[in-house]
């Protein structure tokens, strides 16, 4: 069944140039073993006919599509948007295309999406922070080559991640240095990998500072979640807040502002991620800058290495830099 009519094929070029298919193929692929004059004639007719090899047919015979897939839990999340951007641009430099799959936070959908998109591509970059560790381990072999983003190190695939633990530790040290002795952590999704990393930082800090109390409050990952816990935060009596991310911090900032609480005089608030708007809140948000676009580029590098059979990248970790702005200050007393 012939669709997309009008498209010129290699057969057309061969006929017009009076040569065989193979010769055209060789010329188009820069295969040197072709008479220069003939090659030139083929190139001319190809140009004249506006011929380009059908990528689908090439993919089928070559076994590679020059396309990779990226699975994200939520395209509305600024972090994943940045990862996608970094990934897309890096892949484009090497002539690869990117297929996006948004699981819309449906954890069980991620698996299907990953397997499905993998079959139409040469590899997958998997952002699945909430997927069960066992399910992930079981999934990875079926996806190879694959790169995992922001998860604990894996046996079966390189992991590209931000070091949430170190960065949060720095943030805690910053607040501790400002005299804060009672903090509260606004936890994100319990099952998520980066939330676990953050909790390790909390445990480290508690162990290191006997005089430091860190409460934990269940929270979501978006603006509304941050606003919703405002009363609980104020009731808890902490002088400093470690928000799960910037969105939560901004929601909290807004909500406590409505209640007449001054930041940072009455309460210090630290975010996480350094999304583009973190610097424009009032006051600007102290946060840890997760280099999402760079993570995307790292992911491509790790995948590209597998694709080309180069020395595999086992893992890449970037430590978010703590950015001190005006939402944190000396502890209220």
Partner DNA sequence: CTGTTAGCGCGTTCAA
Partner DNA sequence: TTGAACGCGCTAACAG
Size of the site for its own copies (CB under 8 A): 43
* Among 47, 57, 203, 310, contact with its own copies (rule: CB under 8 A): 57
- Which residue intervals of 209-284 are DSSP H helices? 223-228, 230-236, 246-258
* 317 interacts with, out of its own copies, DNA, none, CB within 5 to 8 A per kind: none
Site membership for DNA, residue 44 (CB under 7 A): no
Site membership for its own copies, residue 21 (CB under 8 A): no
Q: Quick one: tokens of 260?
A: 């007449």
In whole angstroms, give the CA distance from residue 175 to residue 177: 5
Size of the site for DNA (CB under 7 A): 32
Range in contact with DNA (rule: CB under 7 A) among 49-57, 204-212, 219-227, 283-291: 49-57
Backbone angles phi, psi at 27, to 5 degrees: -65, -45
Query: Residue 43 or 97: which CB sits closer to its own copies?
Result: 97
Q: In what order do the strands lie in the sheet with 182-187?
A: 213-218, 182-187, 240-242, 268-270
Binders in 202-231 for its own copies, by CB under 8 A: 223
Site membership for its own copies, residue 56 (CB under 8 A): yes
Is residue 42 within 8 Å of residue 17, measured between CB atoms? yes
* 98 interacts with, out of its own copies, DNA, none, CB within 5 to 8 A per kind: its own copies
> Facing residues of 321 across strands?
289
Q: Quick one: tokens of 303?
A: 């995948």
In whole angstroms, give the CA distance from residue 299 to residue 90: 9
Give the DSSP letter of residue 12. H
% helix, strand, coil for the chain, step of 5 = 45, 15, 40
Site membership for its own copies, residue 325 (CB under 8 A): no
Site membership for DNA, residue 57 (CB under 7 A): yes
- We find the least distance from the C-beta atom of residue 34 to DNA, in angstroms, to be 4
Number of helices and strands in the chain (H, E): 13, 12
What would you measure as the largest C-alpha separation in the chain, in angstroms? 89
* Among 23, 45, 79, 88, contact with its own copies (rule: CB under 8 A): 88
CA torsion 96-99-103-108 (nearest 10°) is -80
- Interface residues with its own copies (CB under 8 A) are 1-4, 52, 54-57, 59-65, 67, 75-76, 81-82, 84-85, 88-89, 92, 97-102, 104, 117, 119-120, 223, 250, 254, 277, 280-282
- Interface residues with DNA (CB under 7 A) are 1-2, 4, 7, 9-11, 18-26, 28-29, 31, 33-35, 38-39, 51, 53-54, 57-58, 60-62
């Amino acid at each position: 069944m012939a669709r997309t009519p009008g498209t010129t094929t290699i057969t057309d070029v061969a006929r017009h140039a009076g040569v065989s298919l193979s010769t055209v193929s060789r010329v188009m692929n820069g295969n040197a073993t072709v008479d220069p004059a003939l090659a030139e004639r083929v190139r001319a007719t190809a140009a004249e006919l506006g011929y380009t090899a059908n990528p689908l047919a090439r993919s089928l015979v070559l076994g590679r599509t020059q396309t990779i897939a990226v699975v994200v839990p939520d395209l509305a999340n600024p972090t994943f948007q940045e990862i996608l951007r970094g990934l897309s641009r890096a892949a484009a430099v090497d002539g690869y295309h990117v297929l996006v799959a948004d699981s819309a936070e449906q954890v069980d959908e991620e698996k299907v999406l990953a397997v499905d998109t993998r079959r139409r591509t040469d590899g997958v970059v998997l952002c699945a922070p909430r997927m069960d560790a066992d399910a992930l381990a079981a999934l990875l072999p079926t996806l190879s080559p694959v790169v995992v983003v922001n998860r604990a190190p894996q046996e079966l695939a390189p992991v590209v991640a931000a070091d949430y633990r170190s960065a949060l530790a720095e943030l805690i040290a910053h607040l501790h240095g400002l005299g804060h002795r009672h903090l509260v952590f606004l936890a994100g999704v319990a099952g998520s990998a980066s939330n676990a990393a953050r909790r390790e930082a909390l445990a480290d800090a508690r162990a290191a500072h006997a005089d430091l109390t860190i409460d934990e409050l269940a929270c979501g990952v978006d603006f509304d979640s941050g606003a919703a816990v405002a009363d609980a935060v104020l009731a808890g009596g902490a002088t400093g807040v470690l928000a799960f991310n910037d969105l939560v911090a901004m929601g909290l900032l807004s909500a406590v502002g409505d209640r007449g609480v001054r930041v940072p005089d009455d309460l210090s608030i630290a975010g996480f991620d350094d999304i583009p708007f973190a610097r424009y809140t009032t006051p600007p948000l102290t946060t840890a800058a997760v280099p999402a676009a760079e993570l995307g580029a790292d992911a491509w590098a790790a995948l590209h290495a597998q694709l080309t059979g180069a020395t595999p990248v086992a893992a890449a970790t970037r430590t978010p830099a703590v950015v001190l702005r005006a939402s944190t200050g000396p502890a209220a007393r």
